[in-house]
Amino acid sequence: MDVGDLKTNLKRAIRGEVKDDTATLTKMSRDTSLFMRMPELVVCPEDAADVSAIVKEVRAATDGGAPVALAARSAGTDMSGGPLTTGVVVSFTEHMNRVLEVGADYAIVEPGVYYRDFEKMTLEKGLILPSYPASRELAALGGIVANNSGGERTLEYGKTEKYVEELDVVLSDGSQCLFKALTPPELAKKKELKTLEGAIYRSMDALLTENAALIEEHRPKVSKNSAGYALWSVRDKETGSFNLAKLICGSQGTLALWSKAKLTLVKPKEHRAMLVIFLYDLAILPEIVKRVLPENPESFESYDDHTFELAVKFLPEMLMQMGLAKAARLGVDFLSEAAMVATGGVPKMVLMAEFAEDTTAEADRKALAAKNALAGLHVQTKIEKNEKESEKYWIIRRESFSLLRKNLHGLYASPFIDDFVVPPASYPEFLPKLNLLLDEYKSHFIYTIAGHIGNGNFHIIPLMDLSKEENRRVVLELAPKVYELVIREGGTTTGEHNDGIIRTPYLPMLFGAEMVALFAQTKEIFDPHNIFNPGKKVGGSFADIERDMIKAVV
């Protein structure tokens, strides 16, 4: 079957659109990663029945000897190449973009809804999904679930997996089912089904039971992880429940396509105070974290001097995205930062510890206690007592990656060591070694560092001229050296951005051959014909990275 036949069959099978015009294919060939893969078709399902029909047609083409892959896509903000494919893109934002219900402590959503629209509706009831990423204004729920995203509030609230209760999914034969927490008797009934769903429950229960010790041994020891398949999360130790939705979360669309999710929501504490720390000596960073964390900040974020300077440099462009009145107010607020840049007094790093409490007095008390805990250290501090005062710091932290992508002509923001996690206790040993390693490559790039300093999750974004072959070689040369340091300290290669094209080849290095074999078995159980996003999580290679890396700024 050629592409024309598949296109014809898909048009006949679904109510949504089937597209192959150049503009659409080109748009869908990119996300925010280093990669480009040109798809053959883009389909925009209207509902779960359409998703089921799409999977059946792709499966039929594959069974007929013309292997076709498909990849789910929502907002396309992925930094790992997760939604890129040379086959069929299933794009959810066009039609499957509704918030179906917001209850007392939950929401039911489709994958194509943008987080910014979703949050407007949850805030009407005083609720949020607290695992939103820094790209909250751009990202959609499809990717947030598929990547098991985290963000600035993860320190207090945990990652997306914690909030995924149920997922309606389409399996690799096109059948539909609901994954949710099952009691042991309910699991036994599922295992009796003479369907792919039943086969999945039988095989996954056996895999998890027979390899329980191995899986537990390799459970990541840091507080955030999106690497591999979360086999350790399926069975709840306390309740004994069995929930495959926890496995689908973070699987990057490689096991099933979700069409509807039930997500737990939380009521955030209303009153906030932020301790801003201007750090001029990175050597004392571990001590700062050690002294601030006992006050239990809701978030503890950071960005470095490069990010600070670029934000000031591109301040007009950044502010103009926010409306005239807000831009004018924030422009005045940024005067002190502009003066720092002008006088050369930029700190090495800006740290933001935000305290959220039920009362203003308690939030202020905690911020002050954290400030006092830093007495004797060479830092400058200030306390911002409400969200309006702290807004400018959040803007720099949240918008830094977008700023880099849009404004540094000739250099491309190149995420390839962008999301590792190490235990904060490792900072004294780890950070000097990391800085020495990065300095070895300073002729090839400049870089910015931002991230979640409270739980050891660093976002290092090199800025590179990818038209030069020697710079592209650095991507494959530097990453294993960084990850060797990370793994030696008990860390993980990705805390929230996931594996995709860029990190799948490092999974053996992180987990070892036995666990990678379990990942491959899991993929085989769910997707024996390998039609769901192949090469991500399982089967990806360094050759994929080399082949699909962009060769110029586009």
CATH number of the domain enclosing 56: 3.30.43.10
Give the range of the structural domain holding residue 174, as residue numbers without chain letter: 103-264
Point out the domain boundary residue: 399, 425, 445: 399
User: How many structural domains does the chain have?
Assistant: 3
pLDDT at position 320 is 60
Q: Is residue 480 part of a domain?
A: no
**Residue 196 and residue 255 in one domain:** yes
**Residue 308 and residue 321 in one domain:** yes
In three state form, how does the secondary structure of 220-262 look? CCCCCCCCCCCHHHCECCCCCCECCHHHHCCCCCCCCEEEEEE
Q: pLDDT above 70 covers what percent of the chain?
A: 90
Strands 164-170 and 176-179: antiparallel
Predicted TM-score of the model (pTM): 0.92
Find out whether 264 and 102 touch, Cβ atoms under 8 Å: no
Asked if the model's pLDDT at residue 219 lies above 80, the reply is yes
Q: Is residue 194 part of a domain?
A: yes
What is the CB-side half-sphere exposure of residue 324 using CA atoms within 13 A? 0
pLDDT at position 338 is 54
Q: Average pLDDT of the chain?
A: 91
Q: Is residue 503 part of a domain?
A: no
**Residue 249 and residue 331 in one domain:** no
Rounded Cα–Cα distance for residues 190 and 199 (Å): 9
**Residue 330 and residue 294 in one domain:** yes
**Residue 151 and residue 20 in one domain:** no
**Residue 23 and residue 143 in one domain:** no
**Residue 79 and residue 195 in one domain:** no
Please compute the mean of the pLDDT values over residues 225-244 and round it to a whole number. 96
Task: Tell me which DSSP letter residue 506 carries.
Answer: G
pLDDT at position 553 is 58
Please compute the mean of the pLDDT values over residues 145-174 and round it to a whole number. 97
Asked if the model's pLDDT at residue 54 lies above 80, the reply is yes
pLDDT at position 3 is 80
Q: Is residue 377 part of a domain?
A: yes
**Residue 283 and residue 235 in one domain:** no
The dihedrals phi and psi of 225, each to the nearest 5 degrees, come to: -160, 135
Instruction: Check residues 188 and 450 and name the one with the higher pLDDT.
Output: 188
pLDDT confidence tier of residue 463, bands split at 50, 70 and 90 = confident
**Which structure tokens are listed for 235?**
């069975």
**Residue 237 and residue 140 in one domain:** yes
Point out the domain boundary residue: 94, 119, 153: 94
pLDDT at position 327 is 47
Rounded Cα–Cα distance for residues 400 and 450 (Å): 8
**Which structure tokens are listed for 241?**
């429940």
Please compute the mean of the pLDDT values over residues 460-480 and round it to a whole number. 93
Asked if the model's pLDDT at residue 319 lies above 70, the reply is no
Say which range, 6-10, 159-163, 460-464, 505-509, has the weakest mean pLDDT. 460-464
Q: Is residue 221 part of a domain?
A: yes
Rounded Cα–Cα distance for residues 170 and 256 (Å): 6
Q: pLDDT above 90 covers what percent of the chain?
A: 76
- The enclosing domain of 155 has a CATH number of 3.30.465.10
The alpha helices in 449-511, defined as continuous H runs, are 469-488, 500-503, 507-511
Instruction: Check residues 281 and 373 and name the one with the higher pLDDT.
Output: 373
Q: Is residue 171 part of a domain?
A: yes
DSSP three-state, residue 298: coil
End-to-end CA distance of the chain: 33
The alpha helices in 441-548, defined as continuous H runs, are 469-488, 500-503, 507-511, 513-526, 542-548
pLDDT at position 334 is 55
pLDDT at position 328 is 47
**Which structure tokens are listed for 430?**
């780890």
- Per residue in 519-550, pLDDT tens? 999 999 999 999 999 999 999 999 999 999 99
pLDDT confidence tier of residue 339, bands split at 50, 70 and 90 = low
Please compute the mean of the pLDDT values over residues 357-366 and round it to a whole number. 95
- The enclosing domain of 281 has a CATH number of 3.30.70.2190
- Per residue in 80-99, pLDDT tens? 999 999 999 999 999 999 99
Rounded Cα–Cα distance for residues 173 and 554 (Å): 37
Rounded Cα–Cα distance for residues 381 and 278 (Å): 6
**Residue 184 and residue 307 in one domain:** no
Point out the domain boundary residue: 51, 67, 94: 94
Q: Is residue 214 part of a domain?
A: yes
**Residue 198 and residue 227 in one domain:** yes
Give CA angle at 286 (232, 403), nearest 5°.
Answer: 80
* Most confident segment among 169-178, 265-274, 392-401, 454-463: 169-178
Q: Is residue 317 part of a domain?
A: yes
- Per residue in 391-450, pLDDT tens? 767 776 766 656 666 666 677 889 999 999 999 889 888 988 998 999 999 999 988 888
- Per residue in 269-304, pLDDT tens? 989 999 999 998 888 998 999 999 999 999 999 988
**Residue 256 and residue 373 in one domain:** no
Q: Cα-atom radius of gyration of the chain, to the nearest Å?
A: 23
